[in-house]
Structure 1
Amino acid sequence: MQMLYDSESFVVLHLRPDMEDEETAGTAEKNAIPQLPRHGFEIVDKRSGKEVYLDGSWAELFQKQILAWQQDAPTEEEVEDTLDRYAGLAQQPVIVH
């Protein structure tokens, strides 16, 4: 897990299976069903207390947005506006463990 963005309104995390620590990777059962490694992004809207997890084609679309931001550094307002559009998808309340 890698934090990509943190502001008063949003947190964006990149979740990648290849970032799994070695201890966890060594404890997998031999008979476990193999799964395709997939990455995703979690966007937390701090204002509403909800989060959305983007994977599959949504994650690919968001990855393209991040690459565009790296090429042309956006203002904080532009980033927040984009995240606000994704936050409209958020239905899952954030639960602190």
Structure 2
Amino acid sequence: MQMLYNSDSFAVVSFDVPDAQGEGPLNRGGYEIVDKFARKEIFIQGALAESFKQGVQALIETGPSEEDMDSFIERFASLSQQPLVLH
């Protein structure tokens, strides 16, 4: 588990779970996106997680502002249905 991004609006955490043979860095992992204002979260994995990763990498190459990052993350966070629950 690794915190990748944390702003006033969103937090993004990466979960990397290698397969049983230790091959493939994101075989069963994914990303948890927390929308702090909506108080919702979503866990994305598989093709959606790969799309998110590639989009973030492309955005980083442009030197984005926090608003740019939040705008990109919001597209994925808008899919969240799970209310945020604190333990």
**Between Structure 1 and Structure 2, how many residues are aligned?**
80
Instruction: With the length of structure 1 as denominator, give the TM-score of the two structures.
Output: 0.75
Contact 2:32 2:43 in 1 (8 A): yes
2:51 is the alignment partner of 1:61: yes
Displacement after TM superposition at 1:37 (Å): 3.6
Q: Which entry has the higher C-alpha Rg, 1 or 2?
A: 1
> Which residue of structure 2 lines up, in the alignment, with residue 39 of structure 1?
29
Q: After the TM superposition, which residues 1-97 of structure 1 pair with which residues of structure 2 at under 5 Å, given as runs?
A: 1-18=1-18, 37-97=27-87
Which letter does structure 2 place at the counterpart of 1:85? R
What percent identity do the matched residue pairs reach?
43
Structure 2: unaligned runs, 5 residues or longer: 19-25
Structure 1 stretches of 4+ moved >4 Å: none
Q: Which amino acid aligns with 2:17?
A: P
Return the TM-score normalized by structure 2: 0.83
CA distance in 2, matches of 1:70, 1:7: 15
Query: Deviations 1:37-77 (Å, cap 9, x if unpaired)?
Result: 41200100000110011101000001101221332221111
Report the AA paired with residue 95 of structure 1.
V
- Unmatched 5+ residue regions in structure 1? 19-35
